[in-house]
Amino acid sequence: MNTHLLTEARRMRLTFMATIALSVTGGICLIAQAFALSRIIRQVFLDHAALEEVSGLLLIVGLLVTLRALLGWGAHRTASEVAIRVKADLRKRLLVHLAALGPTYLLGERTGELVTTATTGIDALDPFFRDYLPALFNALLIPLAILLVVFPLDALTFIILLITAPLIPAFMMLIGMAAGALARQQYARLSHLSAHFLDVTQGLATLKLFNRSRYQITTIAHISDDFRSATMRVLRVAFVSAFALEMLATLSVAIVAVEIGLRLLHGGIPFEQALFLLVIAPEFYQPLRTLGAKFHAGTEASAAAERLFAVLAMPLPPRPARAVPIPDRLHLRFDNVTYRYPDSARPAVDQLSFEIHPGEHVALVGESGSGKSTTAALLLRFLAPDSGQITVSGVDLAQAIADQWRTRIAWVSQSPHLFQTTIADNIRLGRPAAPLEDVMEAARLAEAHEFIQALPQGYDTPCGERGLRLSGGQAQRIAIARAFLTDAPLLVLDEMTAFLDPQTEAAVQSGLRRLLQGRTALVITHRLHTIMQMDRIIVLHAGRVVEEGTHSQLMNQAGRYRALVEVFDPVTHAG
């Protein structure tokens, strides 16, 4: 059993203890009911008592049956409440943890697998807390209570129950290791199927274009068949183990019944006592049989929990012991900053040093892999430097609260993410409570108002998943409108016009010029037109600053920047 799941149960200890108390009380009522029934049968059939004489006992039995039903309902309700609260808490903690890990962690994960963990994986914990865990405690406590009652009544039956009872848990432990391994394989197959299906769905247009959709359908069919086979292996073990446990319990009850019957025939045990033992014997094994029936839920939950708690165990970026406020004037400085990705042989940025003055617009240029996007990720606090320091007006950025620092930043990326909600809500991302008038003004400044108004529902038009209902240029202008509405003092722009046609780029550049006014900006771009608008240009190569200056200064140096310009615009700069 996964120890993390027991820890989660302890978080809800009061409700869970109520579940166990209700179940055990129901077991005690069952013992009392068996006593009353055996006495009624003796008085009616052996003592020939009239029904009026046993009416009190019949009333007690009726009350006990009703009470057991109510206790059972209460136990199931409280157990369900534990399951619901644990699942809700785990989903919240998982989302918070993933948000704290940041987008860099997600780059190394398959989205479909994480979605499966957050949905199907956490849902698999429901039967564990609702059924399996209460059944486990019932299997420990109710048979123990029955043994305490049987011991003073009949030593032989007590010994038989004491010897046969451990056989069922022992058998469950034997099959537990095999069942656990099979359940982990099944869950891994399900995660793989979910991840691959999402990958195929997102890339369906590309697959159709290259005529590979049928191949992927066949691949998904094979993965589905692997999942089916894994599921059937798990079910096979579950069915065989359930059958074996039923056989053990039935044989144990039969042994008790035979020994009591033989002694009853020879007058070795009173009828009422014998009848009570015969009635209570099946109930002694019932919690153990129920535990065996729910054992499959326990193994499935343990398999799902392994992946869930592996994600939750990922170390978070360090938080400062004492938050340092960020000054209003943003003077950015990278001082010998080095960062290497875990799976990389060389640093992405190596002893990187530069600064950006308040209100300055700086272009960061360089060939692919030179460290531009890593520099932006470091500035956004998605990554933490291995060495060196990033300061803002003298304040070490590592000593600031990351979420507070990001409120000072507006980020427009190469492929801005639009959520499956309205255009207005996507623009409001940085200011959720902003009135529609402010949203529309931000859209006007970003050259987006005209095309938004032309849409069927205007600002209430859904963007579609990942903004697929909009063109790339429209999505970029909505991202710029989002930055206008956020009104942050620092802009980080990452290749925002990389794939736009000239007409769309002109509209985006018009919005960009307005956005830059009065703000500090770090602009990653290959577009010469955008670069030439910047106050200063920093050229990166192999994660280091190799050149720095204005466009004209760097062109006169005939160095790496000029070589890059001539590659991107060979006609203008030929000869």
Where along the chain do its domains lie? 3-312, 332-408+518-575
- Domain 3-312's class? mainly alpha
Query: For residues 281-306, b (16+ Cβ closer than 10 Å) or e, as one string?
Result: bebbbbbbbbbbbbbbbbbbbbbbbb
- In this prediction, residue 321 carries a pLDDT of 62
- 3 state SS of 522: strand
The mean pLDDT value for 516-543 works out to: 89
- Which one of 3.30.460.80, 3.20.20.140, 3.40.50.1970, 3.40.50.300 gives the CATH number of domain 332-408+518-575? 3.40.50.300
**How much is the mean pLDDT over the chain?**
85
Q: Which two tokens stand for residue 6?
A: 């027991």
Nearest-angstrom CA–CA distance, 49 and 54: 7
Nearest-angstrom CA–CA distance, 469 and 475: 9
- 3 state SS of 75: helix
Nearest-angstrom CA–CA distance, 264 and 99: 70
- In this prediction, residue 498 carries a pLDDT of 61
Helix or strand holding residue 1 (H, E):
none
CB–CB of 98/311 below 8 Å? Answer: yes
Q: What does the pLDDT look like over 344-401, one tens digit per residue?
A: 889 999 999 999 999 999 999 998 889 998 999 999 988 889 999 999 998 898 888 8
CB–CB of 568/531 below 8 Å? Answer: no
Residues sharing a CB contact under 8 Å with residue 77, sequence separation 6 or more, in sequence order: none
Residues sharing a CB contact under 8 Å with residue 469, sequence separation 6 or more, in sequence order: 461, 462, 463
Q: Which residue has the higher pLDDT, 23 or 469?
A: 23
- Bridge partners (DSSP) listed for residue 338: 387
- In this prediction, residue 574 carries a pLDDT of 43
Q: What does the pLDDT look like over 291-310, one tens digit per residue?
A: 877 877 788 888 888 888 98
Residue percentage of the chain with pLDDT more than 90: 31
Residue 569 banded pLDDT, cuts 50, 70, 90:
low
- In this prediction, residue 292 carries a pLDDT of 79
- In this prediction, residue 572 carries a pLDDT of 46
**Which of 297, 286, 196, 150 is closest to 238 using CA atoms?**
297
Task: Give the start-end residues of each E strand in 97-158.
Answer: none
